Amino acid sequence: MRWMLAGWVIPATLLLVSSVGAQGVTTPSITSPITGQTLQGQVAITGTTDLPNFASAELDFSYTSDETNTRFPIQLMTQPIENNMLTSWDTTTISDGNYILLLRVYLTDGTFQDVSIKVQIRNYSVLPSPIPTVTTTLPAIQIPTPMVIVPSTTPTSAPLPTPTFLPTNPAVPNVNDVYSGFWRGALIVLLIFFAFGIAIRLRRS
């Protein structure tokens, strides 16, 4: 009895897991490209439309600046796709700009599920150049080694200036020279008086 019960429980468990796995995907997805990606030329769009009660799916695009939400069809799908290529989009047929990709899956009960991403088309305009990263290396700061000045405890007297004797002034008269000049002058005066006396005597005679 126990083996029979185990035999029924195991297949029932596997059936339940398989059913949950099949019903696990409840929303569509676009796996490539990703939101914000810049597209050029032929672009492969991949994703998943394999939802329970799948009826059909369509992939459209619209302008992000279009407030009327006008959609332009890219591909209509009648078979569910699971994580595979949905279609190839030729972006050269439209002008450069910002667009919205919309994937809509219709279900058999009349409802639908949407998923959308924003992309940029740049076929005819120059792509913006990345801003280079500037790395600034600051120079190493060299701190000078401080000098410690230790005051001396032994007082040091300043050397006294050595007197310098001036040379003898030649204009200062010598004592001997003074006496010699005096007697020389006196002798000259006596000779003058003597000559003057002789001249008077000769005139009288």
Tell me the CATH number at 81.
2.60.40.10
Number of domains in the chain: 2
Place 172 in a pLDDT band, splitting at 50, 70 and 90.
low
Q: Letter for the amino acid at 140?
A: A
pTM for the full predicted model: 0.53
pLDDT of residue 181: 79
pLDDT of residue 42: 96
Domain limits at 68? Answer: 21-121
Tens of pLDDT, residue by residue over 113-145, are: 999 999 999 999 876 666 666 566 666 667 767
29 within a domain of the structure (yes/no)? yes
158 within a domain of the structure (yes/no)? no
Report the distance separating Cα 33 and Cα 115, nearest Å: 13
Tens of pLDDT, residue by residue over 63-74, are: 998 888 899 999
Please say which residue of 104, 121, 138 terminates a domain.
Answer: 121
SS3 label, residue 193: helix
14 within a domain of the structure (yes/no)? no
Contact, 127 vs 156, CB < 8 A? no
69 within a domain of the structure (yes/no)? yes
Please say which residue of 77, 102, 121 terminates a domain.
Answer: 121
